[in-house]
Structure formats: structure tokens, C-alpha cells
Amino acid sequence: MPNAARMLAVATTAVLVLAIGSRASAWGEEGHQIVGAMASARLTPEARAAVVALLGNDDLATAGLWADQIRGDPSYDWAKPYHYVNLPRTAQSVDLDRDCPTGECVVAAIPRFLAVACDASKPEKERREALKFAVHFIGDLHQPLHAGYKDDLGGNRIQIVAFPGSSEEKKTNLHALWDSVLIKHRTNGDWRTLAAELARDAPKDLIVVWESNLESADWANESAAITREIYKELPADQRIDQPYYDANIATVMRRLTAGGVRLAAALNRTFAGSVPAHAPSTVPST
């Protein structure tokens, strides 16, 4: 291979490795697509109009992926800590003064981005990006390990083997297991069908409870409570088998459903009575 071609091949491989390696810390793509699709179906006409005015469509399943796609762009490095909040292992609940003193965590980021998304005085690009960040981070905060512990990076440093001895055997880590591996085992790649099933089966009484609580700190506390259980139940040999999946998949499904219901409720509240981007001027032109 000529030198230039070899260098291009090496550079391309490096970019691919970086791109794949950096995808390790959010609900995986399917998680965000499921949360977004469920939310899209639950928007009020007013919120849908505001979303369409900003994004050009009401496809929150796709919009939720953007915040991970820009992770390789250094101009967005400031957003990296916004994907999670970490608590002391002994804490029962999040304390923003202790866990998020500069406001650079997912709990504080969510209301800030929602406020920008509906602020007609802000430039449209800033509002559009704020909406896409809010969609993503509301999803993230419902992944239990996004309210995790700093010493192991929310489980990213805990190596595990998923489904050992099966055709799906995979060396991965605890965080990625909850981001994507458990979901993939459930969907087999067909996230749309799962989103439709979760929407159909969402218990009405839980929807009322979820919609009545739109405080991001409370969502973090719910995730942190599940995180404590995840660490208690972690097998000593770090082998994650079918019984672990059977014991935990309902929790994953409940968090995805709560994320979709809360995302819609948060957007419906945020855009109630707001001025959509490029709204027709109410000032008479004569």
C-alpha cells in the first residue's frame, strides 16, 4: 500500500475505534430510541408543534441520539459531565450542593435545557440543541447507573461477562450491560416493536404517578435506589447469566417506560403556552 493510503487507513481505523469506544456511556441507541418514540406518541398538539418548529419533525427517537453523536467534537466537551450524576456510596439521595456543586450534572442540566428550549429570546440553533440535549438527558437519568458512583465511573470500570457460554457471550462492563446489553437481549434489534409494547402495556396508575413528578432530582433518587440494588445483587464472579436477566429485565422496561412518559410530560409542560420557533408575527404589518 502506498504511504498516503496506509496513513489514511490507519487514521480511519483510529477514528472508528474512537467513535465506537466513546459510545459506552448512555442508554445505548436502542434505549434512547425507545424513550423518544414513546414520548413522541404522547405529546400534546401544542408541544408537538413546538418540537416540529425546532427539529423539523416530531421524531424524538432520532433527536435523542444527537448528544452521543457529538461526543467526539471537542467544542462540546463541556457537556460530558451532563450525562450523569454521581453520589457517595453511603448516600440515600442526591444532594446538589454535594454532588453537583457547579451545576454540571444531569440533574441540573435537564431543567436548564428545557428552559432554553422554550425561550423565544434565544437563537433558534441554541433552542434546537437544548431540546436535543434535554431529550437525551431525561433518557439517561432513567438508566439507573447514570446516578452512580464516581470511583468506578458509574460501573464502566466493572468488567463482566454477559451470557457466558451462549452465542451472545460478551465481555463488557456493568454500565454497558444496563445501557444496552440487557435491552438488546430483549429486542433482538427490533426496538420499535418493544416501544409499541411498552406504550400499550404501561400501567395507568404508574403513568399518573410518573407524570405527577417532574423533578429531575427525584428521578435521580429513583435511579440511585436501583443502583444500590444493582451493586448488592452483582454476582461475585461477575458472570451475568439468564437468571440475572430474568430478575432484572422488568426493572429495565419500567425505567424505559417511565423515561418515555416523563419526557413527554416534561415537554408538554415546557411548551404549554410557549412561542414556537418562527411563529408567525402577531404584529400587524400595515
When CB distances are held under 5 to 8 angstroms depending on the partner's kind, the choice from Zn ion, ligand ADE, none that residue 153 binds is ligand ADE
Nearest residue to 32 (alpha-carbon basis) of 152, 141, 161, 193: 141
Binding part of the chain for ligand ADE, among 70-78, 80-88, 110-118, 217-225 by CB under 6 A, reads 80-88
Neighbours of 192 (CB within 10 A): 14
187 binding ligand ADE? (CB under 6 A):
no
146 binding ligand ADE? (CB under 6 A):
yes
Q: Which of 36, 51, 63, 83 binds Zn ion (CB under 5 A)?
A: 83
153 binding ligand ADE? (CB under 6 A):
yes
Q: What φ, ψ does residue 159 adopt, rounded to 5°?
A: -75, 140
- What character string, x for contact with Zn ion (CB under 5 A) and - otherwise, covers 89-128? ----------------------------------------
Q: Which of 179, 214, 268, 277 binds Zn ion (CB under 5 A)?
A: 179
Q: Is the Cβ of residue 35 or residue 55 nearer to Zn ion in the bound state?
A: 35
Binding part of the chain for ligand ADE, among 82-90, 197-205, 253-261, 274-282 by CB under 6 A, reads 82-90
Cell of 92: 440515600
Question: In the range 122-151, which residues lie near Zn ion by CB under 5 A?
Answer: 140
148 binding ligand ADE? (CB under 6 A):
yes
Binding part of the chain for Zn ion, among 73-81, 82-90, 156-164, 264-272 by CB under 5 A, reads 82-90
Please, what is the minimum distance in Å from the beta carbon of residue 156 to Zn ion?
8
Q: Which of 25, 180, 216, 270 binds ligand ADE (CB under 6 A)?
A: 25
CA distance 37 to 53: 18
28 binding ligand ADE? (CB under 6 A):
no
Q: Give the 3-state DSSP-derived string for the chain, with helices as H, strands as E and coil as C.
A: CCHHHHHHHHHHHHHHHHHHHCCCCCCCHHHHHHHHHHHHCCCCHHHHHHHHHHHCCCCHHHHCCHHHHCCCCHHHHHHHHHHCEECCCCCCCCCHHHHCCCCCCHHHHHHHHHHHHCCCCCCHHHHHHHHHHHHHHHHHHCCHHHEECHHHCCCCCCEEEECCCCCCCEEEEHHHHHHHHHHHHHHCCCHHHHHHHHHHHCCHHHHHHHHCCCCHHHHHHHHHHHHHHHHHCCCCCCEECHHHHHHHHHHHHHHHHHHHHHHHHHHHHHCCCCCCCCCCCCCCCC
Q: Is the Cβ of residue 83 or residue 142 nearer to ligand ADE in the bound state?
A: 83
Q: Is the Cβ of residue 198 or residue 224 nearer to ligand ADE in the bound state?
A: 224
Please, what is the minimum distance in Å from the beta carbon of residue 239 to Zn ion?
21
The residues of the shown chain that bind Zn ion, judged by CB under 5 A, are 25-26, 83, 140, 179
Residues lying near ligand ADE in the complex (CB under 6 A) are found at 25, 83-84, 86, 145-146, 148, 150, 153-154, 156
